[in-house]
Chain A
Amino acid sequence: MEKMARVTTALGGNTITGRTMFCHLDAPANAISVCRDAAQVVVAGRNIFKIYSIDEDQFVEKLNLRVGRKPSLNFSCADVVWHQMDENLLATAATNGVVVTWNLGKPSRNKQDQLFTEHKRTVNKVCFHPTEVYMLLSGSQDGYMKCFDLRKKDSVSTFSGQSESVRDVQFSIRDYFTFAATFENGNVQLWDIRRPDRYERMFTAHNGPVFCCDWHLEDRGWLATGGRDKMVKVWDMNTNRAKEIYCVQTIASVARVKWRPECKHHIATCSMMVDHNIYVWDVRRPFIPSAMFEEHKDVTTGIVWRHLHDPYFLLSGSKDSTLYQHIFKDASQPIDRANPEGLCYSLFGDLAFAAKESLISSDSNRKPYIGDRRHPIFFKRKLDPTEQFEYISSSSALSVFETDLESGSMDWFVRTAKQYALAGRPLAELCDHNAKVAKELDRDQVAQTWTMLRIIYSSPGTVPSANLNHSLGKGSTSLPLMNSFNLKDIPPGIGNESRLERSKGESRSENILMDSSSTLINNDENEETEGSDVPADYLLGDVEGDEDELYMMDHENPHAEEQEYILPQEAFPLRHEIVDNPSALDHLQEKADSPHVSGNEAETVSLTPVESFSLISISHSLYENRLPTDFFNPIVRDMLLFYAEQGDVQMAVSVLIVLGDRIRKEIDEQTQEHWYTSYIDLLQRFQLWNISNEVIKLSTCRAINCLNQASTTLHINCSNCKRPMSNKGWICDRCRQCASMCAVCHHVVKGLFVWCQGCSHGGHLQHIMKWLETSSHCPAGCGHLCEYT
């Protein structure tokens, strides 16, 4: 051991040199420890216990302490520690609960010195006192910590962790009597070595076991702990109550922590599972490690800084049976690979952008985007003089761009959604209407698209009818299939209006229903005789909008043979489309059997706004008779995809609905469904429930169609006994009374039923509305202050 005397302290003149190097061990290492001269390292594991000397460019095996023929369990080390005062003194903790001390100064081959067999279970940690030569502390799985005086045969004192397994014990560097112990239940205890009966302080540090702790080398109040909850926490123990001052979140449970010498805020960690790397963190920057060593192929089990005052050399042992010396020059720095620019949107559309200062300043002549104000906030990090590798520019700038409230608003979306007509009228009319809506909102391209769609689709193949229209000279070229309302019987204004209402999808309330239903019924009655257009339309393979409308009317038709098609989806009669799907063959056949002859389109009355036709009439005649509609399908499809790409899914869905079958086959189901769901989602965010429901109804995807059939159950209370109604129907099974009586007119409510959640009373929508206009109390007289919003 003469060589050992050669090296005194590294700082005493000869600085440590070396390179990143490794050597193969024969077996996995469990722990490593260095001699205080930084020239030798001891590696211990289940099947290994060796001392290596650290040369300039290699490790050299110096001594194998596992001697003797018969392998004893005492050699199966869980931990090893080299005394920092005495170069000849080592201690190991064995898995069978034995603490062994070794004296390298012994002349014989077997250097084993003393054997303490006091622990019943595995000893997880041994620790020498930093200044006292003969004092050794051990922490075991059985929940006890024992303090040994190496001059005595037995332990001096025993500290009970109250049956929780001890994972780590560490003497405080500065405080002579204090040591910290960490436990499997997440607690950390501070003990005074003189008081074995009770801990001085205890606090819960982690959720789950705390595997390790380390006192700060300079700042004596700081204790770092690492646990299974993947966190490294730094505690300030100076205050009365342990205060968490830093917290680093790692990606795997933390097996070891070691403060980096000479760097106040740096700490090295390695993990217990999954992750094989060693990280050095700056605790003030807990999101990205400041350095990373990636050499190991398996879990790192022991890390130790080579010298107490040298921050550049790190030794590590691993389960992959290697011993490494890492030097900081070769460390990989994740910060290099990290993108130094950050971009984030706030809830209200503000945009924050952080980048390196240099980038920002060079760009400063560039205009800020939409922002009307710009707040650059600069913060500079103070450079730590001890940090050798801090060559990354550490100053960055944060700019916040506030959104112009107007420009970011989705007003156009809401208005468009409300005003678009999607069904219920002939295609051309829908297109015209939508074009107009778009135009009003200054969305010229969209308007143009609608107009073009009208041209493309509205009168293909309908030569005779188109001609008819032309010959009529009414200018309504695009309306060859205008439906079969006999508007003679009703004032055209009303019909028009009611239809508009419907297409807007805004007002479905019952009073409007009632207003318009009378006119509709008129229509329906005429339907029987006037339905002659429909078969013609269908045979021509044309506008379904018409048919839809007709079917809708059919459903309201009180004729017996058609009753069976009425699906009572809701409690009150629907006046809008129940079957949007033209694939309801029964209807079609029935219609086709109708004895009426086609060809009386001349009778149709144009409802189109007159100003929109002139644009089209010329182009209309250009392609007529020459190109089939399908010719344009690919273009239209591309157009839809384009709009969807652009983020205007509204347009894509609207066109899809309006064109219906013409374009549907061109676009695959999934895309369609995707569009529908996006649009519906958007509508719902803007609280346009009616419209979103309309879209759901009009969609042809089955997955979408069933959306509004989910969670249609309403749970209500009985208005008499105030208990929840359990069974189906309207009779409360507790008080045997009908629960759905209108509180105003005392009749059973059929149709829209409004119900106060506070007092369980309710009634007809109109009645309640009317009542609450004049009174704020519940009409049932229960005294509840009902509110109608």
Chain B
Amino acid sequence: MGLRRSGKSSIQKVVFHKMSPNETLFLESTNKICREDVSNSSFVNFQIWDFPGQIDFFDPTFDYEMIFRGTGALIFVIDSQDDYMEALARLHLTVTRAYKVNPDINFEIFIHKVDGLSDDHKIETQRDIHQRANDDLADAGLEKIHLSFYLTSIYDHSIFEAFSKVVQKLILQLPTLENLLNIFISNSGIEKAFLFDVVSKIYIATDSTPVDMQTYELCCDMIDVVIDISCIYGLKEDGAGTPYDKESTAIIKLNNTTVLYLKEVTKFLALVCFVREECFERKGLIDYNFHCFRKAIHEVFEVRMKVVRSRKHQNQMQKNKRATPNGTPRAPL
């Protein structure tokens, strides 16, 4: 959510539809609520509700309770290049209402369009917005609400990273995944590993070493390369098949003695690793470890499916659409 023209639909288009950032200039402003299923991935299947900025959804005719009740995260987009006072007032209203309906919502604030700001200005803006938003909440006696702030821009990977963080918060198995990755990399001599959602290029999990922007960008680019090449050469004669399947794997050697290694994990997930060249000599070991890792991921996945199924059953019994662990209907943008 956010004021009109703050960039909500652009974010959605760029992250989930691979639209190039320049093309978003030509997006018409959204005039009705767009609901979209992003059930493309095994770990993130959620719905994105793109709210038009001009809608006053606290209109009594509008059933906002229904919307917020099942929501996992609420992303509020603030245009940092604009005067954000109005946006803050709107944010406060939205957050307090939503919190009343569903106290479990994660509130994620994207301070957007920061590409036009200088570095100092960015921090200053973030600090200011943070201060004001929290002060407003404190005045209303709602200190318990936690707002997370992200500086984002569709012109670099910051929007992907922010989205990754948002999605990661909604994944209950994150610690498990992270631990699996940690074990995997420490036993295979890998520098850094990401578990990617191939379609949106957001990372579902990574090991616990800090994420470096360049590394992440490289991985994103690698996925693009793999998909593109696979689209050209990987399809069958009759054009059948998908560019990303079980066989998908790629190795890219960089000139700084690093190797990028991509392997398919599940239908929608890919593992991208950074490996030193000297460690990559033991590719057999890495492959074996990967095999174990993959099995473990599938096990996690199966457990989840069971949970989902039983939950669904329960839901039907209670006629209550509560959020399922991962199928959390999510994010009115």
Contact = CB atoms under 8 A, between A and B. Distances in A.
A190 B287 CA distance: 44
Contacts of A163: 106, 146, 148, 169
B212 A273 contact: yes
Contacts of B127: 203-204
A53 interface: no
Contact of B212 (A122, A164, A272): A272
Interface in A159-209: 162-164, 167, 184-186, 198, 203-209
A141 B178 contact: yes
B210 A228 contact: yes
A198 B126 CA distance: 21
Interface residues on B, range: 20 to 34
Given A142-B175, A163-B169, A273 B143 contact: no
A124 interface: yes
Nearest to B213: A228
Interface string B192-216: 0000000000000001101111110
B175 A121 contact: yes
A95 B208 contact: yes
Contact of A207 (B122, B175, B183, B208): B122
A229 B127 CA distance: 16
B210 A185 contact: no
A77 to B, nearest CB: 10
A78 interface: yes
Interface string A371-398: 0000000000000000000000000000
B130 interface: yes
A208 B179 contact: no
Interface in B137-190: 143, 146, 148-151, 165, 169, 174-175, 178-179, 182-183, 186
Contacts of B238: none
A701 to B, nearest CB: 32
Contact of A97 (B151, B175, B186): B175
Interface string A200-244: 000111111101000000000000000011000000000000000
B208 A121 contact: yes
A120 interface: yes
A770 to B, nearest CB: 44
A185 B150 CA distance: 7
A124 B175 CA distance: 14
Contacts of A186: 123, 126
A207 B213 contact: no
Contacts of A33: none
B119 interface: yes
A702 B175 CA distance: 63
Nearest to B106: A163
Contact of A122 (B122, B130, B208): B208
A46 B208 contact: no
A707 to B, nearest CB: 26
B186 A46 contact: yes
Contact of A76 (B122, B186, B215): B186
A122 B178 contact: yes
B148 A162 contact: yes
B158 to A, nearest CB: 9
A185 B149 contact: yes
A658 to B, nearest CB: 45
A253 interface: yes
A286 to B, nearest CB: 14
A206 B123 contact: yes
B210 A121 contact: no
A208 B123 CA distance: 10
A272 B174 CA distance: 24
Nearest to A163: B169
A124 B208 contact: yes
Contacts of B175: 97, 120-121, 142
Interface in B89-132: 106, 119, 122-123, 126-127, 130
Contacts of A273: 212, 214-215
A47 interface: yes
B148 A253 contact: no
Given A122-B178, A163-B146, A211-B210, A47 B119 contact: no
Nearest to B174: A121
Contacts of B212: 228, 253, 272-273
Contacts of A205: 123
Interface in A351-386: none
Interface string A106-126: 000000000000001110100
Contact of B178 (A121, A228, A229): A121
B210 A167 contact: yes
Contacts of B143: 198
A73 interface: yes
A443 B183 CA distance: 79
Contacts of A47: 186
A612 interface: no
Contacts of A185: 148-150, 165
Interface in B70-98: none
Contacts of A96: 179, 182-183
Contacts of A207: 119, 122-123, 126, 151
Contact of A204 (B126, B165, B178, B210): B126
Contacts of A229: 119
Contacts of B214: 273
Contacts of A142: 175
Contacts of A78: 208
A422 to B, nearest CB: 42
B210 A209 contact: yes
A568 to B, nearest CB: 34
Nearest to A209: B210
A255 B209 CA distance: 11
B326 to A, nearest CB: 17
A209 B212 CA distance: 10
Contacts of B148: 162-164, 185
A678 to B, nearest CB: 32
Nearest to B256: A274
B218 to A, nearest CB: 12
Instruction: Find the residue from B127, B149, B174 having the highest chain A CB count within 10 A.
Output: B127
B213 A208 contact: yes
A421 to B, nearest CB: 47
A367 to B, nearest CB: 42
Nearest to B186: A46
Contacts of B174: 121
Instruction: Find the residue from B175, B183, B215 having the highest chain A CB count within 10 A.
Output: B175
A97 B130 contact: no
A229 B169 CA distance: 23
Contacts of A203: 127
Interface string A49-76: 0000000000000000000000001001
A141 B213 contact: no
A95 B150 contact: no
A273 B215 CA distance: 10
Nearest to B179: A96
B149 A121 contact: no
Contacts of A255: 210
Instruction: Find the residue from A162, A164, A203, A207 having the highest chain B CB count within 10 A.
Output: A207
A272 B209 CA distance: 10
B123 A204 contact: yes
Interface in B193-251: 207-208, 210-215
Given A76-B186, A141-B208, 15 more contacts: A95-B186, A96-B182, A121-B174, A121-B208, A122-B207, A141-B178, A163-B146, A184-B210, A186-B123, A204-B149, A207-B151, A209-B211, A211-B210, A273-B214, A273-B215
Nearest 5 interchain pairs by C-beta:
A122-B208, A162-B146, A120-B175, A95-B182, A46-B186
Interface of A: 46-47, 73, 76, 78, 95-97, 120-122, 124, 141-142, 162-164, 167, 184-186, 198, 203-209, 211, 228-229, 253, 255, 272-273
16 contacts: A47-B186, A95-B179, A95-B182, A95-B208, A96-B179, A121-B178, A122-B182, A162-B148, A185-B150, A185-B165, A198-B143, A203-B127, A207-B123, A207-B126, A229-B119, A272-B210
